[in-house]
Structure 1
């Protein structure tokens, strides 16, 4: 019974961060919810054996591997609907939305491993070593996948480099 309570507490505390990460991995809120639920089902099955100190790493590892597994089975993902907007507090909402949609579309065109590496490294602000541990690969793999993913993003969406103040040439 204590395991169930510990798991319930974990889910209540970590649902939102897991959902944000899953949304970045899948590119879709509904798919992300499904991914988190599948992840938590798998984690619940072995929760009694999970060390509380490493529970988050354990669940995130399941999340990443489930994301890659699910992506392998899908052939196509829908493109996001384009939206418009006005200025809000001096911010060009349409520009922000366009940037987010461009980034989301470009991320979906990366391989699952490249997307997982970028999410872990830059969204979750993990080091190369931490990312390698979470993804179960070497640090050199993280480095090369990051390099390849960023190069690919520069090709897929060169306007993002300009948006974020980096004017780099494509090799």
Structure 2
């Protein structure tokens, strides 16, 4: 009697094991990034809610960009040979700070070389800051999640080494302040 049930039971177990191993691609959740139009709708709503009037989308930068603060009116503009120092803060719409980068007070980068205005190519966002703001001035960029230039967004949630969680489809804010301008 035991042998009679053994064969059908083993057949059912084998069938279950084999079908559990087969996966259909349709069963896997796909990651579909936002389109630029979807991101622009979200960013436009954020800009309106925050009462920000100085930002506009630039295809050159692939982001919204604008002068948040033109700087101290009694400060001079950076010349091409000026030594410059600046601070960059990357955050999300929720205010979570993701990363802060700043040059030190003697206008040197990590390898000890001086940072000059002329180091930044025309068309770069630092060049945009240096040509449009004085010391103390700042620009703001908002990158759509569909852009991937900073590597902080997309349709997958990400975790940074400091424990900060970046939600999926996050637009990223980059604030850059010109902290110093000095003649060599």
Query: Which band: TM-score by shorter chain?
Result: under 0.3
**Structure richer in strand, relative to its length:** 2
Q: Which has the higher contact order (CA 8 A, sep 6+)?
A: 2
TM-score normalised by the chain length of structure 2: 0.25
Which one has the largest radius of gyration?
2
TM-score normalised by the chain length of structure 1: 0.26
**Structure richer in helix, relative to its length:** 1
